[in-house]
Structure 1
């Protein structure tokens, strides 16, 4: 599932109201543009009315109109719309023009010599109408007639002008919206920089670094987050220290009684006993030995879990000599079980490490191989270099470990299906993993040629 991005979310939630405001502004801009177009075009209509008025007169009681075609043609050519006109006597006949043009409503009817504007629909077209109520006089006969002069124009030119104004305004506003989003994008990125720095600080910390995070240089809004993280680090450190003390105290409390029980059982086995008693004592002695080993392993894990001082104790040492010594230490156990335990090395191999911890790592790997490969198996401890990196391998021809279990066997107290009938605590490989972590080494399980298991520990080439 794709993770949400804060900058994208801020930009998205700003974009929605900006688009809504842009739509509202577009509507308002179009209305203002239409009003401006009406003002501009209405002046032309008013000019046409005045031109027609000058050519309207009363002769012998009859209204005559000298229609200024030149003015109408000029008006039509400039605006690009259709022109409709009508000259009508008030309450009487249409003198000239389009007789179906609608008269203005009483509310829109102008006073004499005044011009009024209104909207109308004629022949399926929307018109903008101008109307002038003009009294005309026949001087010799002293007669008066009232004439309505109307000139209308289709509104397409006005709409085209309004759209042109709207498009220009929208282009400017869209540019402003894009610039605003870019500014917000950069601003949010700038504002999140302290969080990125904080994330880098947390990522750069080692797993066992108990020091609180530094709040210097962070904005006030981030300080509560850092304070919460520091409180969590403090609680976690106290919990880890309490657990380590518990394991250490419990192991020390158990070591002495277990040692006494083991010694007493071994002394009792030297006495003359009947077979059932000897069988029970032998089982008791084996269980005590296993418990003592488990206590020692718990002590090792407790020491390795959070003791960062082990990293500072690394020094150059010969890995091949250390592995040879561990192999010799386990030779008696291997001979007792008819196991062919051998050692191979190509050249002198040095690593940066802790001698005691690496000896325990080798011992645990050989112990696991002896236990789970079985009697009569072949085990080889090998030291070499791979691309200048020191490599320690323990190879056996036993049943191996199924691929789907190779990650799980490094968990504490995990017992694979091949280990169900073998004595063990399930802590050996967990200790190996922790020692490898302290030495910044990589551990991997693989298949041995011809069947079996290969445990490889690859160290960084710190020593040339």
Structure 2
């Protein structure tokens, strides 16, 4: 349940709603308390005014005969106690209970809170000036009542409001659950579509009726499906081409064996065996290249384990291996190598990469031509460049020559050399670019890698 999207969305929606309900409930409670206090204060003031009217002169003495209506004004169903006190300011008490503390108001009337007999009491004080035969007296009338009815009135105001808020929360939860269930139907339909698909179905998912927020996810899935479809198509094409390439030498080998079996002439058998040997050699070479391409495609940069490789050493070794082959074809080999050409990688794969590039350059360079291998540092990278004097490759064909089995000439070969080179470069997180040679004719293949310093750090 912790990872439930529906539950997490519901919690994110309920959290601000709960905060709002709590704040509204708190403010509603305060408003109810103030309203109940205002009602009580008005009742106290009315009672005090009635009592002030009951104060009269009797001779030179003030007397108060409190009418029952003054007390009835403050009577409540909750059974609150009523206290009053009437007296002359700075003088004698006229009537009431002495337990009720009085406050002389600066301005009449004045409400205040006090305690009588251990109970919280709300009280009001007013002043009435009495005149008689030149005598002036200021009478202080104070009336108080306990606050049970005030609290009950506040509860009657607040509780319905609180219930309404809780009902709103309950209705919101139901609507949210229904809304989330309804809106997540498209996501569930998308899940069912993916689950019910056949293993070989790689058509993109439809985003026609999908919510805007979900479309980036589906777009990313569609991009992944497109990459898988492309990779699957490449693998199928590779398998089909491999089968076709292997079928031809195997068929030829079978025909040669049948011809040798039918012939009784030792010279014919010997010549046939030589042809069988050449077919076998070509078949083994093709198989090795297929295995090498598969190894290069599955190579992982992280598996190189930080092995440091000197491209200058590999290049020198490769030139020595191909020197005799180039000499037989009348081709001159040249090298321009820098110092500390260190990269992170697999020495065997990098050696094969250099060998294939050099072999291609020698194969397509005419007699008396030159193949040059150079390595130079460029800021934080190393550039390995192999250029030749051959016919070059048209710009629109330079990407296609990296496809397995693609060939643009009738020269002997399987069409896998540059495909292997590209996969090795990708495995080493490098880049390879084909361009016209600087002299205007021929081809220049440039491979760039991140360079390493002598202490093994990437520069």
Task: Give the TM-score of the pair, scaled to structure 2.
Answer: 0.51
Query: How far, CA to CA, are the matches of 2:176 and 2:85 in structure 1?
Result: 59
Q: How does 1:256-275 map to 2 (within 5 A)?
A: none
In structure 2, the residue matched to 1:123 is 117
Inter-CA distance 152–197: structure 2 relative to 1 (3 Å threshold): same
In structure 1, the residue matched to 2:95 is 96
Aligned partner (choices 189, 192, 199) of residue 191 of structure 2: 199
Residue 159 of structure 1: how far off its partner (Å):
0.9
Query: How far, CA to CA, are the matches of 2:219 and 2:10 in structure 1?
Result: 29
Query: How far, CA to CA, are the matches of 1:238 and 1:30 in structure 2?
Result: 67
In structure 1, the residue matched to 2:17 is 18
Query: How far, CA to CA, are the matches of 2:135 and 2:199 in structure 1?
Result: 112
Matched, 1:148 2:140: yes
Q: How does 1:50-449 map to 2 (within 5 A)?
A: 50-73=49-72, 75-77=74-76, 80-104=79-103, 108-111=105-108, 115-137=109-131, 139=132, 141-254=133-246
Query: How far, CA to CA, are the matches of 1:57 and 1:3 in structure 2?
Result: 78
Residue 258 of structure 1: how far off its partner (Å):
6.3
Query: How far, CA to CA, are the matches of 1:215 and 1:200 in structure 2?
Result: 15
Residue 73 of structure 1: how far off its partner (Å):
4.5
Inter-CA distance 262–88: structure 2 relative to 1 (3 Å threshold): farther
Residue 90 of structure 1: how far off its partner (Å):
0.4
Residue 4 of structure 1: how far off its partner (Å):
2.3
Q: Is the 8 A contact 1:85 1:150 kept in 2?
A: yes
Inter-CA distance 267–10: structure 2 relative to 1 (3 Å threshold): same
Give a deviation string over 1:343-384, Cα, whole Å, max 9, x none: xxxxxxxxxxxxxxxxxxxxxxxxxxxxxxxxxxxxxxxxxx
Q: Is the 8 A contact 2:186 2:210 kept in 1?
A: yes
Query: How far, CA to CA, are the matches of 1:50 and 1:194 in structure 2?
Result: 72
Number of residue equivalences: 267
Give a deviation string over 1:48-83, Cα, whole Å, max 9, x none: 112211221232332211122453156324563111
- For the residue of structure 2 that corresponds to 1:76, the secondary structure is coil
Inter-CA distance 78–57: structure 2 relative to 1 (3 Å threshold): farther
- For the residue of structure 2 that corresponds to 1:84, the secondary structure is strand
Unaligned runs of 5+ in 2: 262-279, 291-459
Residue 157 of structure 1: how far off its partner (Å):
1.0
Inter-CA distance 253–50: structure 2 relative to 1 (3 Å threshold): same
Select between 52-61 and 166-175 the one with higher mean Cα deviation.
Answer: 52-61
Inter-CA distance 135–257: structure 2 relative to 1 (3 Å threshold): same
Q: Is the 8 A contact 1:58 1:145 kept in 2?
A: no
Query: How far, CA to CA, are the matches of 2:203 and 2:76 in structure 1?
Result: 85
Query: How far, CA to CA, are the matches of 2:103 and 2:171 in structure 1?
Result: 49
- For the residue of structure 2 that corresponds to 1:31, the secondary structure is helix
Q: Is the 8 A contact 1:118 1:130 kept in 2?
A: yes
Query: How far, CA to CA, are the matches of 1:124 and 1:174 in structure 2?
Result: 36
Residue 262 of structure 1: how far off its partner (Å):
8.8
- For the residue of structure 1 that corresponds to 2:123, the secondary structure is strand
Residue 242 of structure 1: how far off its partner (Å):
1.7
Query: How far, CA to CA, are the matches of 2:156 and 2:30 in structure 1?
Result: 13
Q: Is the 8 A contact 1:110 1:131 kept in 2?
A: no
Query: How far, CA to CA, are the matches of 1:59 and 1:3 in structure 2?
Result: 83
Query: How far, CA to CA, are the matches of 1:67 and 1:214 in structure 2?
Result: 88
Inter-CA distance 142–231: structure 2 relative to 1 (3 Å threshold): same
Query: How far, CA to CA, are the matches of 1:200 and 1:91 in structure 2?
Result: 91
Superposed structure 1 runs of 4+ greater than 6 Å apart: 258-269
Residue 265 of structure 1: how far off its partner (Å):
9.9
Q: Is the 8 A contact 1:52 1:67 kept in 2?
A: yes
- For the residue of structure 1 that corresponds to 2:107, the secondary structure is coil
Inter-CA distance 226–17: structure 2 relative to 1 (3 Å threshold): closer
Q: Is the 8 A contact 1:57 1:64 kept in 2?
A: yes
Unaligned runs of 5+ in 1: 270-287, 299-464
Residue 264 of structure 1: how far off its partner (Å):
9.2
Residue 212 of structure 1: how far off its partner (Å):
2.0
In structure 1, the residue matched to 2:433 is none
Task: Give the TM-score of the pair, scaled to structure 1.
Answer: 0.51
Query: How far, CA to CA, are the matches of 1:264 and 1:103 in structure 2?
Result: 131
Query: How far, CA to CA, are the matches of 1:135 and 1:117 in structure 2?
Result: 19
